[in-house]
């Protein structure tokens, strides 16, 4: 078994950092590490890239651990698509590469396939074997394609005015309307007096 590095890290270093950041090593995060590795190897060394994750589960943490892109600095975006794919793209030109877990290639890796497609109940899963198979597979279960992103859709809106909500007295983006989304009842999620009804509004 000839293990590749994951980004600038050895596998062991990646595992240590993952446990510290994510709480545990997970199959998704390990595959995510190889996806980041494949994507960054496919880009010019001096590329100034942003990343789109098509899943909110595990994958964003692989990106945050291995690249300068985080959810808080805005260079990582999460889309509610639920596919296991990452797109790295030049933030100016939009040219980039999309890396994804290839279901066709999983035919040769039944343990990984059973986990990924949830074909085996979790309590029947041999996690140790699964992780060993993922390490063995590395990038062999991934595919990638050159893609083009409309960067204008992902650019930050700068300089939009801030308003103070007349109901809660908190600052909010003025473009949301005359009062903030919580006071408008659209995005409430907590109660101080058990009278406020939460509404569905999870973003990620």
104-123 positions binding its own copies, by CB under 8 A? 104, 116-118
Sorted by sequence, the CB contacts under 8 Å of residue 106 that are 6+ apart come out as 112, 113, 116, 117, 141
Q: Which is nearer to its own copies, 1 or 121 (CB)?
A: 121
Is 200 one of the binding residues for its own copies (CB under 8 A)? yes
Q: Which is nearer to its own copies, 45 or 190 (CB)?
A: 190
Is 167 one of the binding residues for its own copies (CB under 8 A)? no
Instruction: Using the rule CB under 8 A, give the single segment among 9-17, 37-45, 95-103, 128-136 that binds its own copies.
Output: 95-103
Q: How many residues does the chain have?
A: 204
Phi, psi at 147, each rounded to 5°: -135, 170
Query: How wide is the angle at C-alpha 40 spanned by C-alphas 84 and 65, nearest 5°?
Result: 70
Is 192 one of the binding residues for its own copies (CB under 8 A)? yes
Sorted by sequence, the CB contacts under 8 Å of residue 83 that are 6+ apart come out as 54, 55, 100
Report which of 35, 36, 47, 39 is spatially closest to residue 91, judged by C-alpha positions. Answer: 47
User: On the CB side of 80, how many CA atoms lie within 13 Å of its CA?
Assistant: 4
- Cβ atoms of 94 and 80 closer than 8 Å: no
Q: Which is nearer to its own copies, 4 or 79 (CB)?
A: 79
Q: Which is nearer to its own copies, 45 or 157 (CB)?
A: 157
Coil, strand, or helix at residue 49?
A: strand
Is 162 one of the binding residues for its own copies (CB under 8 A)? yes
Instruction: Using the rule CB under 8 A, give the single segment among 7-15, 40-48, 51-59, 128-136 that binds its own copies.
Output: 51-59
Binding residue for its own copies, selected from 103, 107, 108, 127, defined by CB under 8 A: 103
Q: Which is nearer to its own copies, 1 or 104 (CB)?
A: 104
Is 58 one of the binding residues for its own copies (CB under 8 A)? yes
187-to-73, 159, 171 alpha-carbon distances in Å: 23, 23, 15
Is 190 one of the binding residues for its own copies (CB under 8 A)? yes
* Rounded CA separation 15/196 (Å): 43
**Contacts of its own copies in 15-34 (CB under 8 A):** 21-23, 29
Min dist CB 131 to its own copies, Å, is 17
């Amino acid at each position: 078994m000839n293990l590749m590095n994951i980004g600038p890290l050895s596998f062991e270093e990646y595992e240590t950092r993952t446990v510290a950041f994510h709480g545990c090593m997970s199959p998704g995060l390990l595959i995510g590490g190889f996806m980041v590795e494949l994507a960054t190897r496919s880009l010019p060394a001096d590329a100034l890239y942003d990343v789109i994750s098509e899943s909110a589960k595990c994958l964003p943490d692989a990106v945050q651990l291995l690249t300068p892109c985080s959810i808080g600095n805005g260079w990582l975006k999460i889309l509610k698509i639920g596919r296991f794919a990452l797109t790295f793209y030049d933030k100016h030109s939009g040219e980039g590469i999309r890396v994804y877990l290839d279901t066709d290639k999983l035919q040769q890796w039944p343990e990984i396939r059973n986990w990924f497609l949830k074909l085996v109940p979790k309590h029947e899963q041999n996690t140790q074997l699964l992780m060993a198979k993922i390490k063995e597979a590395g990038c062999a279960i991934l595919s990638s394609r050159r893609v083009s992103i409309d960067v204008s859709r992902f650019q930050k809106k700068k300089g939009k005015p801030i308003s103070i909500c007349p109901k809660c007295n908190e600052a909010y983006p003025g473009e949301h309307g005359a009062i903030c989304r919580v006071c408008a009842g659209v995005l409430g999620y907590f109660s101080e007096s058990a009278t406020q009804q939460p509404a569905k509004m999870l973003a990620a």
